Homo-oligomer: A and B are copies of this chain.
Amino acid sequence: MNTIGHIFRLTTFGESHGTAIGGIIDGCPSQLKLDFDFIDSELQRRRTAQSATSSQRLEPDKIEWLSGLLDGVTLGTPIAFMVRNEDCKPEDYEALKDVYRPSHADFTYEQKYGIRDWRGGGRASARTTLPIVVAGAIAKQILIEKDIFVRAETVFMGNAEQARMEGDTVGGIVECRITGVPAGLGEPMFGEFSAELAHAMFSIPAVKGFEVGDGFALAKMKGSEANDTFINKDAGLRDARRESCPESRVNITTLTNHSGGIQGGITNGNDVVFRVAFKPIPSIAKPQQTVNRAGESREIAIGGRHDVCALPRALVLVEALAAMTVADMMMLQQAHN
């Protein structure tokens, strides 16, 4: 269950303060010359210590490629990679060893596994999303060759600088747009494009909401307002041209895009648009009430190095998982043709 994807698959490993973080990409097409500079630039977008509101943990995030490549070209075999954890400060967490930080995964991991790695959040740390960025960058490279582009932006974010001064944190909303997606991706009934996207997005820590197209706002519309009219893009073209180009496919799209590019769970060729809601980072410096493992009351003020908001760094994660989903569903669609 640390694997995502059907054909283009990523399996990840690693805890925040363990030896290394990494992953295996299985099912990547062969003969692809990896663009390592692009991968690094994507990782750079995810890195901490870039601004006053992000965690001050400083990791070089130097990727070591372990397999699947010959002179930087993919072999079709599994691409394994890792990054060592170097700037670890487990002592920051020593005091929290037996205490459940509110709205963190401490309690749930312990309930699930009977044990947890208390150093920096262990497997539940945001640090473990690094491999997603690597796989996402490779997926983007595959998509760019087909003129498919993925771009996320912040559409809402709380007042981070003020929150930081108050020892508090804020949440936000990310909107992502995928252009150039071919029509026909997504597998009904239980592999719909929107379901696959939703699944992928909820793999990002702190995500609590997901909507496609106009999403929750659609619930308040009438059908006549929400429906997307189909149009023929070539309708204005001279008949002469159409006659001279008999093989050209009819070029249909929708005038509006309330559906966010997905109808009946399948892409319709228009831009795929979705939004993701992030809760505030639960690690706050303000004192909080909680309990320890024995059930005794404790007051904690979370030190360590933490972001004030997930958002600036999460954009690349949203894009990465979106790109992986498109690549995977494209490959699945190819299998049937």
Contact = CB atoms under 8 A, between A and B. Distances in A.
A235 B266 contact: no
A85 B188 CA distance: 20
Q: How many copies does the complex hold?
A: 4
A103 B263 contact: yes
Q: Give the size category of A's interface with B.
A: 35 or more
Given A103-B258, A115-B75, A264 B124 contact: yes
A67 B173 contact: no
Interface in A184-224: 184-192, 194-196, 198-203, 205, 207-216, 218-224
Contact of A211 (B11, B187, B192, B208): B208
Contact of A115 (B13, B31, B163): B31
Interface string A210-250: 11111110111111111111111011000000000000001
Interface stretch (A45-53, A54-62, A283-291): A283-291
A215 B209 contact: yes
A15 B102 CA distance: 44
Contact of A108 (B172, B267, B279): B267
A284 to B, nearest CB: 4
B199 A75 contact: no
A175 to B, nearest CB: 12
Given A109-B266, A123-B75, A190 B158 contact: no
B77 A188 contact: yes
A203 B231 contact: no
24 contacts: A3-B9, A13-B79, A14-B66, A18-B67, A19-B65, A22-B80, A24-B24, A76-B113, A76-B115, A77-B117, A77-B123, A103-B226, A103-B228, A111-B268, A169-B223, A171-B220, A195-B199, A198-B198, A208-B213, A209-B215, A221-B280, A223-B284, A226-B279, A227-B282
